[in-house]
Structure 1
Amino acid sequence: MSEYYVCHSCGTKYEITENVWKCKCGGMLDLLKQKVTLDPSKLSERPPTMWRYVDTMAFENDSTIWRKVTMGEGYTPLIVLDETKPNTLVKVDYMMPTLSFKDRGAAVLIAKAKELGVTRVIADSSGNAGTAIAAYAKRAGIACDIFLREGTSPKKIAQVKAHGANVRTVNGTREDVAAAAQKAINEEKHFYASHVYNPFFYEGTKTYAYEIWEQMKSEPDTLIIPVGNGTLLLGAYYGFKELLENGLIKKVPKIVAIQAENCAPLAKAFVNNEIEAEEIKGKETLAEGIAIAAPARSVQILEAVRTTNGEILTVNEEEILQARAALAGKGFYVEITTAANYAGYLKYNHSLSEKIIIPLCGAGIKSN
């Protein structure tokens, strides 16, 4: 499959190499590739993992490099949350090797790194992405450094270290952590395995959409998705767009994004009808996974929400804790960021006939 990086801001194209991760103009890179074609009749022959959709991903023709990386991630259960609301389903995406949806993107990104001959990767994270990158890098035989903020959940730090990654902690904000990682990338010239900057991460998270379509045999009306850097939101959007282009669905579902009230730059930009979110001075929030004061892909995130006639809702800390307890009462023990998403669903004004999907992004054992 022939593909390139293309700048979302100025349109400059780049060959895909180990050292390219941002445009010279400072813009974010998207993946430019030939039109994706999916033959549904072949899916029954494929394994029950996200790699059943490998033909839609930007690997070399007939590449099987992913087989050296996969741990069976994907194809997670889609379950009715409450029998009184049969049209609301949860996708249990914490049923992954490292207990979060980030395994989707990490598996594809590390497989691509392996295909490029990368020997060392650097990544920054609030926890889950770092864990996933560390696990798949170890499996692929690639050395790994993960930058984390001091104060990150000890359980997540322990998980990253367990996978053999070198942890570099940074005293500061999540944005300070990203800046430190990028400084190291520029100085050390290693592959930036960023779940935000590298478009191949979205080639993995888009499988969330493909699975929903195959499991439902149609598209839902609405996706409720927590958003900080937008890795699941954009992946889902890209996946449903590809399904629409293949004539397999009638429309891209409406995206309802959820932010923590204490750190909600995207919600502010959405309400003010701004194209790009400005960096804010966010307060501390229990939902550390979406505590992003300056989302690098805010332009793409806001485009996706608006294009689907969606909206962005915010939830406060008490609503988050109450939602976590409510989900636990239904049998789902989730991490706090996922609870913020469910809190948003509880505030969302919907009809009983509206088909809604809620991702359960991370397992509760990962949070304090």
Structure 2
Amino acid sequence: MRTLTKGQIAVLAIAAALMAGVGGFGAWGTYTNAVEAFHREATAAGVVAAGEGLTLILGLVMLLRTMLGQSSPAVVRLGMWLAPVSAACVGITIAGTAREAAVYAVTPLAMSGAAEGLSFVARSVVVFTTGVDAETMRRNADVARQLAFHRAVAEGHPGKAQRKLARRRYWRLARYVGHGDAELGAGLVDVQRHRVRDGADAALASMYGAPVVERSQKDPATPRPVSATEALRAHFAGMDLDDAIRLAHDARPDAAPAELAHLLGTYDIHVDAVAVALVLGRKPAEYEVERDDADDAQQVNALPRGAKTAAIREAASSLGKDARAEDIVRAVAERHQIEVGENYVRAVLSRKPKAKRDPGNGGYA
């Protein structure tokens, strides 16, 4: 995108100020003439607003759409012509003499011309900075559309007269194709420059007896630059899936399987996190949480064999023969921190204690 120099900006600002000044004087002149004719200021203001004001509004619409890179609608372009004409007609009708009619008809053109001039300057600035002429593109697109339509009618319409008329029309439209397109004009000039150079080369070669070197009309095709992503995508396409996963893991060793799967997806290798984990042989991560404000948990070891029975019998012996099962359960829990049920207590107490073996008597009591 090209930028305007300080000198260009200064010249454009001065030109815009002069246009606005001329338009203001024209509106003031029309207002004065209307006041002289109608003797009412409100009516005079309405006359100025309907003529020069409408032209100014349409000019601003063209200005804004041009700055946005858009073409102006047909009604706006038509209004830019009709509004000054209507203002001139109003000036002619309110004039008393032929001399006044000529003056009153010309006065509104000052503001109308200023509005059109400002919109044209804005369009020129946009075309210069962006290189895009929306109006020219719209005009050429419309011509191309009409050309295609009349060409189709000339070739396929059943009526002979319609085909002949359409053939004349598309030949007439052909001269408007590319009209005002600076890029197309530059391209055609470049083509003609090459042809003139080749012709001069051939003429000089024939004069001096040197062999003529034929030049290709088309430039050799230059390879399109390939991005790094496209190159890696093509490289991964020819690799085995396991090798691609391991290569991605080597590049990102700290990445989780899900992240590696997403990374491979950007290169058209669609795989889930489970497959990545299986290929890499990983196990699920284990975490150990330590809190400074938490008390140490009591370590619970397995009870030795017969500990519950011994605790129940010891509690029953201390409580006496009349002790109930629920009292024994409570005593075992308080003294030995062992939880037992009442039915288990009754079952233990119903069994006789085993006799201890005497080692000196062959193992029998």
**Shorter-normalised TM-score: what interval?**
under 0.3
| TM-score, length basis structure 1 | 0.17
The structure carrying a bigger helix percent of its residues is 2
| TM-score, length basis structure 2 | 0.17
Greater RCO between the two (CA within 8 Å, min separation 6)?
A: 1
